[in-house]
Structure 1
Amino acid sequence: MNTIHRKQIYNPESQESVSDRKIFGGNPTSIFDLNRIKYQWAYNLWKVMLANTWFPEEVNMNADKRDYNGGLTAQEKLGYDRALAQLIFMDSLQTNNLIDNVNPYITSPEINLILVRQAFEEALHSQSYAVMVESISVNTDEIYDMWRVDMQLRSKNDHIANVYIELAQQPSERNLLKAMFANQILEGIYFYSGFSFFYTLARSGKMLGSAQMIRFIQRDEVTHLLLFQNMINSLRKERSELFTPSLEEEVIEMFRRAVDVESKWGEYITQGQILGLTTEIIREYIQHLADDRLKAVGLPQLYGSKNPIRWVDQFASFNEQKTNFFEAKVTNYAKGSINFDDF
């Protein structure tokens, strides 16, 4: 297992050229020379992420407090709390993981740039959840400390964190690559599945402010998926020897396990009492997400499942809608639009 080392924060002896740059294992000066770019997709993504800038205070949460206290069923309130507690953990984990665990080993300055931006966005999402919690809860500690008393939540948190902990304890090329695949699972399965719960409530006219906040967050997650997807696919071209059959088998098993974990979690937070989210729909949607993420990084699809809740994509979309679903007014959908041909 090839050990990797953190890059130097200042390396004036380096003579590395732009063509010599590597995603990891390079020898950068640590100067951000952005007039010379090797990974153009990274710089394109950086500009999209800048254009997507937003702040939680833009979202009006006044009606959500009324809905939470008088419009939700007991199971909807419990599901909301659990789904929110899970999102809080994942963005907290990802903020620390990117800064402390991934970026120190990445030796391409243009990719360093967008990893720092992603970490900022994950921190912003944590602030967004704080706004949501404060808006609806008389005791914010109940949601923030839920992982301490809800063993289903704690078990899922432990499972998600394991790959990142492995990288922290044993820095190697294989473990860093596994962490990149784990990011596809975190950003593209766990987050997306969690978001669907809030859109389901909004579809029935409840917690519209929360759903609007989630839409902003999910727009960021699209760029996060593209970031790691492109790192994986660039590495496949440059370091094909890393993509051994044993690694791919391990990654596919990671996806299988993630589908099982997230399906059970979805059943747990809905308890068969959330209109539009049956056990079968939850699992099929998560399988569909897994297939999409696997295909995007050059791995075989496992399930052949179709999206059973296509309306979720409409609720989440900024770039195709003409009006804001929740406020019925025109918004600036040119902001942060993505041309996938650039990536």
Structure 2
Amino acid sequence: MDGRSYRTLSTVLSKVNILDPMNPNRSTALFGGKASGILNWNDLKYPHFYKHREQIRALFWRASEVDMTHDIKQFPNLTASEQTAFLKIIGLLATLDGPQTDMAARISQYSTDPSVKSVMATIADQESEHNHSYAYVLSSVTTLDKQIESFETGRTDEVLLERNSRIMEIYNEFAQNPTILNVLKAMVYTTLLEGLFFYSGFAFFYNLARDQKMVGTSTMISYINRDELQHGRFISELFRATLAEHPEYNTSEFTDWVYDQFRHSVEQETKWSHYILANIDGIDLLEMEGYIKYRANKMLRLLGLSEIYQDHTENPMKWIRAYVDNFDDTKTDFFEQKSRQYTKTSDLNGFDEL
């Protein structure tokens, strides 16, 4: 670097033409490159993106396939605290998942790699089904006015508004000013959203299921959880590959920015968990805080960075694994093997192992 801030180097991206046959079929870059728009899965700049596509597509499901019969009967018998948390957490999840459909589409619009467009199309479809599933759950267990109130939570709850303020800022900045830097930042927050922001909410539903309560909803959440894990893996891989193509952003300044976002996000997720889970039997808030930090460490490793919570490298809530079929911790695939080599990168040059 010559002393200039990475902010002064940000290349503005243009929406990519749908078909441009004068360009090669194999893209020259993920963003800001050239490609014809013709996708040949046997001739990719990043061949392992095909495996991500297959893993994501293998998780296809529909909300209407989940039996909510018992949940309909059980919801009125939940405690007042459980009902309130149930409705507010559904509101949170809808607030986060709804924009993800749009975010996947927007990243796709600016990517010059047709394989990225294809994977993002599948992610967008799944995010759309996630959002539909929240409406499906609520329509099964409560009245229309309560359903509408739950979906209003993201617009009216002060704690939730504060919690989501920074992700809203980063996403909207990318929408208004689509630069290489802003797409990198948006991918960092997409990784945070997919791998951290949902997890106190997921824990609430899994905790109910431990007591044989609202098992249909918990099943739905486990499907969403597995989708999000795969989305997070692909987005973090896309982030690392994009950064490798644009080493001018591989700076201590940007590394520090990423760490700051993780610390801030952990603080906000912890605050939210204390707010929403304080009166829920079966959830230890101190354990929940440790779990949030464990998730942050895990997502940092996927991005190619070092852990920042050295006392939280193991999952303190191992019972959760039963509700996602051990998907996160025990399945070994190409990506997980690859990510482990980044765990000891230095804080000041954390992306150089790309």
TM-score, L = length of structure 1? 0.89
Separation in 1, partners of 2:101, 2:285:
31
| Contact residue 32 and residue 109 of structure 1 kept, 8 A | yes
Q: Please state how far the C-alpha of 1:303 moved relative to its aligned partner.
A: 0.8
| Contact residue 63 and residue 133 of structure 2 kept, 8 A | yes
Quick one: which amino acid aligns to residue 341 of structure 1?
A: F
Matched, 1:147 2:168: no
- For residues 198-257 of structure 1, give each alpha carbon's deviation from its aligned partner in whole angstroms, at most 9, with x where no partner exists: 101111211100000011111111210111111122234333332211111111100000
- Aligned residue in 1 for 2:351: none
| Contact residue 267 and residue 279 of structure 1 kept, 8 A | yes
- Aligned residue in 2 for 1:134: 139
Separation in 2, partners of 1:307, 1:117:
30
Q: Please state how far the C-alpha of 1:319 moved relative to its aligned partner.
A: 5.6
Quick one: which amino acid aligns to residue 30 of structure 2?
A: I
Match of 1:231 among 225, 228, 238: 238
Distance 1:166 1:268, change over 3 A: same
Quick one: which amino acid aligns to residue 9 of structure 1?
A: I
Quick one: which amino acid aligns to residue 301 of structure 2?
A: K
Match of 1:167 among 161, 171, 174: 174
Matched, 1:108 2:92: no
- Aligned residue in 2 for 1:78: 84
- Aligned residue in 2 for 1:312: 320
Separation in 2, partners of 1:294, 1:207:
33
- Aligned residue in 2 for 1:193: 200
| Contact residue 32 and residue 110 of structure 1 kept, 8 A | yes
- Aligned residue in 2 for 1:340: 333
- Aligned residue in 1 for 2:13: 4
Matched, 1:277 2:283: yes
Quick one: which amino acid aligns to residue 316 of structure 1?
A: V
| Contact residue 48 and residue 338 of structure 1 kept, 8 A | no
Count matched residues. 322
Separation in 2, partners of 1:294, 1:109:
27
- Aligned residue in 2 for 1:268: 275
Quick one: which amino acid aligns to residue 12 of structure 1?
A: P
Structure 1 residue matching 2:102: 3-state secondary structure: helix
Quick one: which amino acid aligns to residue 92 of structure 2?
A: Q
Q: Please state how far the C-alpha of 1:312 moved relative to its aligned partner.
A: 0.6
Separation in 1, partners of 2:245, 2:107:
19
Moved more, 149-158 or 302-311: 149-158
- Aligned residue in 2 for 1:13: 22
Residue segments in structure 1 that go unaligned for 5+ positions in a row: 321-336
Quick one: which amino acid aligns to residue 211 of structure 2?
A: S
Separation in 2, partners of 1:288, 1:27:
39
Separation in 2, partners of 1:185, 1:242:
19
TM-score, L = length of structure 2? 0.86
RMSD over aligned Cα, in angstroms? 1.9
Quick one: which amino acid aligns to residue 334 of structure 2?
A: D
- Aligned residue in 2 for 1:157: 164
| Contact residue 97 and residue 127 of structure 2 kept, 8 A | yes
Identity of matched residues, % = 30
1:211-250 residue pairs with structure 2 within 5 A? Answer: 211-250=218-257
1:12-51 residue pairs with structure 2 within 5 A? Answer: 12-14=21-23, 16=24, 18=26, 21-51=28-58
Structure 2 residue matching 1:211: 3-state secondary structure: helix
Quick one: which amino acid aligns to residue 64 of structure 1?
A: D
Separation in 2, partners of 1:80, 1:123:
20
Matched, 1:88 2:94: yes
Q: Please state how far the C-alpha of 1:111 moved relative to its aligned partner.
A: 1.2
- Aligned residue in 1 for 2:123: 118
| Contact residue 44 and residue 342 of structure 1 kept, 8 A | no
Q: Please state how far the C-alpha of 1:318 moved relative to its aligned partner.
A: 6.4
Greater than 3 Å deviation, 4+ residue runs? none
Separation in 2, partners of 1:130, 1:89:
12
Q: Please state how far the C-alpha of 1:299 moved relative to its aligned partner.
A: 1.2
